[in-house]
Amino acid sequence: MNRLLHTLPVIDHPAAAARFLHDADRATWHDASLWQVRRKRDRAAAMVEEWEELRALASAIKEHTLSHLDTYLEAFERHATANGIQVHWAADAAEHNRIVLDLLRRHGARRVVKSKSMLTEECGLNPFLEAHGIEVVDTDLGERIVQLANDAPSHIVMPAIHYRQEEIGALFHAKMGTEAGADEPAYLAAAARRDLRRRFLEADAAITGVNFAVAETGGFVVCTNEGNADLGAHLAPLHIACMGLEKVIPRLDDLGVFLRLLARSATGQPITVYTSHFHRPPPGRALHVVLVDNGRSAQLARPAYRASLKCIRCGACMNTCPVYRRSGGHSYGAPVPGPIGSILMPGADPVRYASLPFASTLCGSCSDVCPVQIDIHDQLYAWRQDVTRAGGVSRAKRWFMQMAGWLLAHPRRYRVAGAALRRLLRHLPRRLLYARPNTWGRARELPPVPPQTFRDWYRTHRPAPEHPADMP
């Protein structure tokens, strides 16, 4: 684990979520917006008869790939190189950023258009390039909004999902001179279109992400709805595509499985508007791919968590998650938020991201919608134990958990404590009952005290067992 990371602040998800919930109207709207996307996903999935079979296939293909990952990475490199694509390897974020800057400098590129890549967010590429005098323009509209607002994406598919249209209207008025007070989405999108098309035509280099890299052919696929990755890549003399190691898949035929799942899971579309297959650069142009590890091989070494590397970044787990929808993407303090972020980030730093595995109800909805069948909620549960062992959980919580463990391990203690608690709950004044240590009671009423425990009921309705000690 990188010790340097500990200069970074520890993420306090509950505190950040509380701040998000402070604006109740926005939180309600955010929740409803995402739930609508989740429902679109349901409708799209229901239209495919073999949906569950596709999920199982996608999962199996990814597991097969991970079990031969070195072979497939080498095959991809070999075939890509034969296609005239130059392949680079980066062990971590810093090396990735250096490689990209180096390529830009070698080509004398100063103006870069960038389409969406969560990997470059993870590596902090934009601030790094800007610090070295390169102008980077995000061209996905959501990312552009976030960039103009000097903010970070809050969702991997819908980066500006946390903004309301009047805020975007005010932002565009300030930054792009649109009419004051105008906030119709069509009008604002048209303004961004004019501005970005000019930038596409003037760019010296394009940076894109990669959705799938095909080992068998040495080509890669980029999916967008706006066409921004293509406008960048086909107009600039230099195209750099950045990808995590886990993006490689064995064969072209495998694409059929993933592409039928990806857009349906993400937004409820049958397929993205553009599914672009890059195999060779046009004559006289340069095409580079940067393969990035940045903790992925370490995650591969963790049997309980390696399945997180199957992720195809569709965002379905975020849209369905009751915690994500009501706490906002920024509360996770991570480039990839939500359930999948909560199992990826502790791998990078179990102390800094210790609160993320607890940002879940463990309801399992994330695992149900995941197109590659990642056992997200099981991993969240496992990470809770591991971040606690790593010392990422407060002493109070650890002590409380130990107490609870001690209590729940002994039937007699449990019964005595239960009886005492029921009496307390009936007679304690509210002021004491809902005092500071009761975090559960801050936003909820405690459940009413039952007149009778199940155990008592059972004893009166069933013959006594032969060995009372066996009783629960």
Partner 1 sequence: MNSRTKILEAVARHRPPPRPHPGLPSFPAPGNDLAARFREAAAGVNATCLTGSLDTLGDVVRARYPGARVIAALEPDLLPGTQVIDATTAPAELATIDLLVCRGTLGVAESGAVWVRAAPAGHRAALFLAEHLLLLLPADRLVWNLHQAYDRLDVAAEDFGVFVAGPSKTADIAQALVIGAHGPRSVTVYLIPDTKISF
Stretch that binds partner 1, among 103-111, 215-223, 351-359, 371-379 (CB under 8 A): 215-223
* Helices 376-389 and 338-348, axial angle in degrees (round to 10): 30
**Contact set for partner 1, span 156-175 (CB under 8 A):** 158-161, 163-165, 168
CB atoms within 10 A of CB 182: 15
CB atoms within 10 A of CB 139: 29
The secondary structure element, H or E, covering residue 115 is none
Residue 234 DSSP class: H
Amino acid identity, residue 456?
A: D
- What is the rounded CA–CA span in Å between residue 87 and residue 456? 69
> Among 74, 102, 130, 179, which residue interacts with partner 1 (rule: CB under 8 A)?
74
Tokens of 424: 């307390």
CB atoms within 10 A of CB 61: 19
Smallest distance, Å, CB 340 to partner 1? 19
**Contact set for partner 1, span 237-256 (CB under 8 A):** 245, 250, 252-256
Phi, psi of 108 (to 5 degrees): 65, 30
SS3 136: strand
> Among 277, 389, 413, 455, which residue interacts with partner 1 (rule: CB under 8 A)?
277
To 10 degrees, the CA torsion angle through 193, 197, 203, 207? 50
How far are the Cα atoms of 132, 347, 349, 404, 464 from residue 294, in angstroms, in the given order? 22, 11, 12, 38, 60
Stretch that binds partner 1, among 89-97, 339-347, 364-372, 446-454 (CB under 8 A): 89-97
Q: Which of residues 74 and 130 has its CB atom nearest to partner 1 in the complex?
A: 74
Q: Which of residues 186 and 469 has its CB atom nearest to partner 1 in the complex?
A: 186
Q: Which of residues 123 and 354 has its CB atom nearest to partner 1 in the complex?
A: 123
Decide if 329 contacts 154 (C-beta within 8 A). yes
**Contact set for partner 1, span 298-357 (CB under 8 A):** 298, 300-301, 303, 306
> Among 21, 175, 274, 415, which residue interacts with partner 1 (rule: CB under 8 A)?
274
> Among 11, 112, 196, 369, which residue interacts with partner 1 (rule: CB under 8 A)?
196
In sequence order, which residues have a C-beta less than 8 Å from that of residue 145 and are 6 or more positions away? 159, 160, 163, 168, 171
**Contact set for partner 1, span 280-299 (CB under 8 A):** 280-283, 291, 293, 297-298
Q: Which of residues 28 and 67 has its CB atom nearest to partner 1 in the complex?
A: 67
Q: Which of residues 13 and 375 has its CB atom nearest to partner 1 in the complex?
A: 375
Q: Is 2 an interacting residue with respect to partner 1 (CB under 8 A)?
A: no
Q: Which of residues 29 and 457 has its CB atom nearest to partner 1 in the complex?
A: 29
SS3 88: strand
Burial label, 108 (beta-carbon count in 10 A; 0-12, 13-18, 19+): exposed
> Among 18, 35, 227, 368, which residue interacts with partner 1 (rule: CB under 8 A)?
227
Q: Is 68 an interacting residue with respect to partner 1 (CB under 8 A)?
A: yes
**Contact set for partner 1, span 111-140 (CB under 8 A):** 139-140
Size of the site for partner 1 (CB under 8 A): 92
> Among 14, 133, 185, 465, which residue interacts with partner 1 (rule: CB under 8 A)?
185
Smallest distance, Å, CB 207 to partner 1? 16
Q: Is 217 an interacting residue with respect to partner 1 (CB under 8 A)?
A: yes
SS3 405: helix
Q: Is 220 an interacting residue with respect to partner 1 (CB under 8 A)?
A: no
